[in-house]
Amino acid sequence: MSCFAALCLSSSLPASAALTCKDGTISTYQNGSIASCVIDDNVDINTGIFSFSCLQEQYIYFDDKGRLRSCVLSSSFDLMQGSSTRVCLAKSWVSVSISNEGRQSASCGR
C-alpha cells in the first residue's frame, strides 16, 4: 500500500485528501508527483467549489502539480454549470480543470 496525503487540488483553492493506492499501480511524473493510481478506498474530494467521491478500485488521475484531473464517481452529484444543474451519475467519469487564472470547471460523462 502506498499513501499520499494533502494533495493540492487547486492552487487557488487548496483541498486535501487521504489517498491510498494499490501496490504496483502508481505512476509518477518526473518531478515525483503522482500522475495516477488505482485507489484502495473511496476518496472524498472537496475543492471548495466541487464536492464528490471517487470510486475505489478505479484509477484517479492528477496533473503534474498534484491537482485532480479525473476519476470515476462513487455516487451521483449535482454539477452546477452556469444557471443550470447537471446530474453526474455514479460510475461516470468526472474531469476537473483549472485555468491559468485559477478558475475551476468540471464535466462528467460515461
Burial of 46-61, coded b for 16+ CB within 10 Å and e otherwise, reads ebebbebbbbbebbbb
Place of cell 464535466: 107
What pLDDT does 7 receive? 41
Mean pLDDT of the chain: 83
| Helix/strand/coil percentages in the chain, nearest 5 | 0, 50, 50
Query: Predicted confidence band at 14 (pLDDT cuts at 50, 70, 90)?
Result: very low
Identify which of 15-19, 49-53, 78-82 has the greatest average pLDDT.
49-53
Name, of 14-23, 66-75, 101-110, the range with top average pLDDT: 66-75
Contact of 20 with 37, CB cutoff 8 Å: no
pLDDT tier, 17 (very low <50, low <70, confident <90, very high otherwise)? low
- Domains of the chain by residue range: 2-109
